[in-house]
Amino acid sequence: MANTTKIPERLPIKRMPDLYTKHIGRYKNGHGLFFGMTTELCIDVDGNPLRDRIGHSRFYAVLFLFGDDGTFHECRSLMSSHSLEESYGNLCHLLRDIGTVEYCDIAVNLFSTWIDGVEFGLVADSESGVVNLHPNSLITFSEPWDGEYFT
């Protein structure tokens, strides 16, 4: 049976300060939106998952930038092979580069971009009727599309 869930093109995202959406909000005096994240990838040079993480992890700080209408504009990223803590420091650096920010709920269009051969973004899974934050499907959004998510 086919999934009949209508996935929105523009997704509300609630800021949850202690969870994955703590680095979202507005910048450029309210004329732009941002979503920052850190993640660990355990993949080989061809993008295949590895079972042995020791010495093979790559840690990313990623900052997605959007227009005030939620349209994806740009992705900035920094990669580290050392630790998630270093990656968090890199994210703080990326956030400083965009100037004054206001942390708040946002609504952005679904998008996908590639970093080092890996897909990042808010990607619809029409078969399941959900939207996942890639890579690693860190968080999943679903009906009622109110900005809340599950991990």
Output the pTM of the full model: 0.89
Instruction: State pLDDT tens for residues 6-37.
Output: 999 999 999 998 888 999 999 988 889 999 99
Report the candidate in 106, 150, 143, 109 with the shortest Cα–Cα distance to residue 128. 143
* Predicted local distance difference test score (pLDDT) of residue 29: 83
Residues contacting 106, CB < 8 A, separation 6+? 12, 13, 15, 24, 25, 26, 33, 34, 35, 66, 70
Is residue 5 predicted with pLDDT exceeding 90?
A: no
Report the DSSP beta bridge partners of residue 62: 37, 77
Element (H, E) at 89: helix 84-97
Would you list the domain boundaries of the chain? 10-110
Which DSSP category does 18 fall into?
T
Instruction: State pLDDT tens for residues 59-118.
Output: 899 999 999 999 999 999 999 877 788 899 999 999 999 999 999 999 999 999 999 888
Report how far Cα 147 is from the mean position of its chain's Cα atoms: 14
Q: Is the dihedral of CA 65, 40, 38, 21 positive or negative?
A: positive
